[in-house]
Chain A
């Protein structure tokens, strides 16, 4: 397998194109500028369309339009830019449009800082717009994972006819690592999908008296009372809890302490776990791969009689991911935190120190 050395943002864009993405609209914001920059050069080469909108609001609305035609389409932004897009994201969930949205997050709230951060957890998993909709949310921790998850995000968007969200951060977006790129989706595959999508997508009237209309508050273009749409969406979210949960664990069986983290913090936490184990601490590791649906089962399976505590590591002050852990742990074990925020990277030594404190260091 040929490995190429790529920056996270560029790797995400290339993976999207290989997954069949043929439309991108976006607006510049650090630290995700390499995504639109890469698309602007690469999309015309594959017969796709790149548009730099006049704002995030406009770009997300353009994505809504492109997605409504049944093609594979995507946008990206960062934190406060994603906030500006939240109106259209809600509309796309409202109209069941299969698109991919990538947030290369930075410090907040508001304009915050251009430095990397994990302060958009709630926004991504619980409230990316009004109306209480949810999305599948991937959280990569390496450039390779960013590639693989982006590729899969397009398939899942089509499978559920719903927006899929990738929550990454400025570290993962800016860092370079060797990656193996997935194969290019064939034109035949994409054409067949577009053909199948004609069942609901807007494709022009073509002389016919009536054509499909995309409306917010429908499912797959079919009009129904809003409450029925809400119920069907909810049923889909519940199905995700069976079919779409993704997480990894390591050494949880005999663990006396669990360290848990997602995204960029997870790779740092994992290296802390490795050191602690070498020092003789019985430490286990839980890492949600998708942060929505939240992998409650990973925490339910723990043997709480052995546990001295669970340490949550995230780059958000106040913590956010920690609340989801607390909700499933329900006071069965003490919960500690190791936090940074506002563009500061979480340090492995800080995680180790916090873990030892919670462990009741010898």
Chain B
């Protein structure tokens, strides 16, 4: 069993953190092989930022999967660029608060999460990635939510313990959206 995830957006949105948290949680919660590969442009903010995550029962071949089971996008640019990197029957997670465009793909599932909007309502736009991570876990169920949240607390929360509650809230809101989308999807099949 191999799960491949491609996360794409703009530098500063927490794209790489999203991927690293998935890997950390997978390392802690499973004995699977885990590989993370980042790709980003030179700009500190505003440039492209994306990363590839592979969680597998067998040793991981390429650190960059040719096609992914899941694609998570935080920008129109990433949506356009990466929607075709999704396996047929795969799932596309879209932050609808920044992605105004729709995918052309008709052979994939789409989970829409207004992650940026939820984060802003909570008073800190930076937690949008954690909200989306929650939705991703809620929908896919590939890792236990508490392990993913633990990973977040250990890494980003280590520097700023006062943000712990905020991170947790963003993650939980996403988790609920993901679980609802999963239930709706199951009901429609």
* Contacting residues of chain B (3-55) with chain A, CB-CB under 8 angstroms: 20, 23-24, 27, 33-38
- B67: nearest chain-A partner, CB-CB: A349
Residues of A within 8 A of B38 (CB): 174, 176
**CA–CA, A239 to B151, complex, Å?**
49
Residues of B within 8 A of A176 (CB): 20, 23, 35-38
9 smallest A-B Cβ distances: which pairs? A271-B61, A176-B36, A175-B37, A178-B27, A175-B63, A268-B61, A268-B62, A177-B35, A345-B64
Once the chains bind, are A349 and B66 in contact (CB under 8 Å)?
Answer: yes
Chain B interface residue count, Cβ-Cβ cutoff 8 angstroms: 18
**How far, in Å, is A92 (CB) from chain B's closest CB?**
32
**CA–CA, A142 to B20, complex, Å?**
17
**How far, in Å, is B56 (CB) from chain A's closest CB?**
9
Known A5-B20, A270-B61, A272-B61; judge A171-B66 contact (CB<8 A). no
Q: Is B121 part of the contact surface with A, judged by Cβ < 8 Å?
A: no
Once the chains bind, are A5 and B27 in contact (CB under 8 Å)?
Answer: yes
Q: Give 15 new A-B contacts, CB below 8 A, not counting A5-B27, A171-B37.
A: A5-B23, A142-B59, A174-B38, A175-B63, A176-B36, A177-B60, A178-B34, A267-B59, A267-B60, A268-B61, A270-B61, A271-B62, A272-B61, A347-B62, A348-B61
Most chain B Cβ neighbours within 10 Å, of A174, A178, A345: A178
**CA–CA, A347 to B36, complex, Å?**
17
- A349: nearest chain-B partner, CB-CB: B66
Residues of B within 8 A of A330 (CB): none
Residues of B within 8 A of A142 (CB): 59
- A274: nearest chain-B partner, CB-CB: B58
- B26: nearest chain-A partner, CB-CB: A178
Q: Is A3 part of the contact surface with B, judged by Cβ < 8 Å?
A: yes
Residues of B within 8 A of A272 (CB): 61
Residues of B within 8 A of A347 (CB): 62, 66
Once the chains bind, are A174 and B37 in contact (CB under 8 Å)?
Answer: yes
* Contacting residues of chain A (299-346) with chain B, CB-CB under 8 angstroms: 345-346
